[in-house]
């Protein structure tokens, strides 16, 4: 029997390698960049620790502005299958500099804990704590000056891509079913789900013919070892009895034609409708594009159009 410390227990290509001795090697999404001033847009960013014992931090983005009124506030949850990436990842830092500049909004990017070191629901718990921290600024005397001075907590949006879209969905349900802000109030106007990471036991649409579908349950079990499977409400909104409690009035969903997760995103509008949620849902499909392409190719026309649509959504423009 091979007792080498380099013996591999499990591996999911491009994501993670787990060794027999318990070591974990993340195969992508580990690069980071510091916060600072973006020379192209003038957007300023900084990292703030909001819960030292976890530790939980957020990266804040403040656009250049001379506006007298306060700005919309976007809370963003990064993707990475609940396993890789961070708020300091180069692709997310670049994307949110662009979003902050183009939407003229304050952005709070949540650096939640990732699996398998911190299995689901740690990411959801951290995200809830970040919302509570934001809500502590409602009266204008919270711990962070940028939010007190520039952010309009009566005009809040959640957004995320892939697993971050799943988190944004669940945080909106928490806003609708409880008061995650404690004594403060988060006035959630809408959520933008960009290629959300939803799944289920029964194959839908093009999933039946996609050989890569077998990877999704493996990823999910690694992220959530205690899961009941692919119909767990954490990953399948169609099995969530709380889905009708989505605490906002507007939803924007983006899917990509070549994305393995496309059909789940297309299905989301129907799930909300049949469960009695009465808000407005817009679903947009980018033809010829793959999963989260807009992070890696931000200058292509479809990525620029996506950002414009998200920014209009944040500013309540058609």
Clarify whether residues 237 and 305 are in a common domain. Answer: yes
Residues in CB range of 147: below 8 A, 6 or more apart = 60, 73, 106, 108, 134, 137, 153
Clarify whether residues 84 and 221 are in a common domain. Answer: yes
What confidence score (pLDDT) does residue 2 get? 53
Domain CATH for 58: 3.40.50.1820
| 160 beta partners | 77, 193
Residues in CB range of 6: below 8 A, 6 or more apart = 19
Clarify whether residues 128 and 213 are in a common domain. Answer: yes
Clarify whether residues 134 and 19 are in a common domain. Answer: no
Clarify whether residues 6 and 141 are in a common domain. Answer: no
- The two beta strands, 106-111 and 56-62, are antiparallel
Clarify whether residues 115 and 15 are in a common domain. Answer: no
Rounded to whole angstroms, the Cα distance separating 293 from 315 reads 24
* 3-class SS of residue 181: coil
Q: Determine how many CB atoms are found less than 10 A away from the CB of residue 19.
A: 16
Residues known to be catalytic: 162, 259, 291
Question: pLDDT tens for residues 214-248?
Answer: 889 999 999 999 999 999 999 999 999 999 999 99
Clarify whether residues 146 and 293 are in a common domain. Answer: yes
List the one residue out of 111, 122, 119 whose CA is nearest residue 50: 111
Clarify whether residues 135 and 51 are in a common domain. Answer: yes
Per-residue CA distances from 212 to 161, 208, 209, 261 (Å): 19, 10, 9, 11
Clarify whether residues 42 and 134 are in a common domain. Answer: yes
Question: pLDDT tens for residues 89-100?
Answer: 999 999 999 999
Q: How many domains does the chain have?
A: 2
What confidence score (pLDDT) does residue 1 get? 45
| 282 beta partners | 252
> Strands across the sheet with 8-12, in order?
8-12, 16-19, 24-26
Clarify whether residues 21 and 134 are in a common domain. Answer: no
Clarify whether residues 215 and 84 are in a common domain. Answer: yes
The answer to whether 275 touches 176, Cβ cutoff 8 Å, is no
What is the radius of gyration, based on Cα positions, of the chain? 19
Per-residue pLDDT of the chain (318 residues; tens, 9 = 90+): 455 678 998 899 889 999 999 899 999 999 999 999 999 999 999 999 999 999 999 999 999 976 678 999 999 999 999 999 999 999 999 999 999 999 999 999 999 999 999 999 999 999 999 999 999 999 999 999 999 999 999 999 999 999 999 999 999 999 998 766 555 678 999 999 999 999 999 999 999 888 889 889 999 999 999 999 999 999 999 999 999 999 999 999 999 999 999 999 999 999 999 999 999 999 999 999 999 999 999 999 999 999 999 999 999 875
Per-residue CA distances from 15 to 117, 165, 173 (Å): 14, 18, 29
Instruction: Report the phi/psi class of residue 255: left, alpha or beta, with left for phi > 0 and alpha for psi in -120 to 50.
Output: beta
Domain that holds residue 133: 33-314
Clarify whether residues 1 and 127 are in a common domain. Answer: no
Say what the pTM is: 0.96
């Amino acid at each position: 029997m091979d007792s080498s410390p380099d013996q591999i227990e499990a591996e999911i290509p491009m994501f993670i390698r787990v060794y027999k001795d318990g070591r974990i090697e993340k195969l992508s999404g580990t690069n980071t960049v510091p916060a600072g001033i973006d020379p192209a847009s003038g957007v300023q960013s900084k990292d703030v620790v909001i819960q030292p014992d976890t530790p939980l931090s957020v990266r804040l983005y403040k656009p250049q502005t001379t506006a007298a009124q306060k700005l919309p506030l976007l809370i963003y949850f990064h993707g990475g299958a609940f396993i890789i990436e961070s708020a300091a990842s180069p692709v997310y830092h670049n994307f949110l500099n662009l979003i902050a500049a183009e939407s003229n909004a304050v952005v709070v990017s949540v650096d939640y804990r990732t699996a398998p070191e911190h299995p689901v629901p740690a990411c959801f718990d951290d995200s809830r704590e970040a919302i509570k921290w934001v809500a502590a600024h409602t009266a204008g005397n919270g711990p962070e000056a940028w939010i007190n001075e520039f952010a309009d907590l009566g005009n809040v949006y959640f957004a995320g891509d892939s697993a971050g879209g799943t988190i944004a969905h669940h945080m909106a349900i928490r806003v609708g079913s409880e008061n995650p802000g404690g004594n403060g109030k988060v006035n959630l106007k809408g959520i933008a789900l960009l290629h959300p990471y939803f799944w289920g036991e029964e194959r839908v649409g093009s999933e039946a013919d996609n050989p890569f579908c077998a990877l999704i349950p493996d990823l999910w079990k690694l992220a959530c070892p205690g899961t009941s499977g692919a119909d767990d409400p954490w990953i399948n909104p169609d099995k969530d009895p709380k889905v009708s409690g989505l605490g906002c009035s507007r939803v924007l969903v983006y899917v990509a034609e070549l994305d393995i997760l496309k059909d789940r995103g297309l299905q989301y509008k129907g799930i909300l409708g049949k469960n009695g949620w009465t808000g407005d849902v817009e679903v947009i499909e980018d033809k010829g594009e793959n999963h989260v392409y807009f992070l890696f190719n931000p200058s292509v026309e479809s990525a620029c159009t996506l950002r414009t649509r998200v920014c209009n959504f944040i500013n309540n423009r058609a």
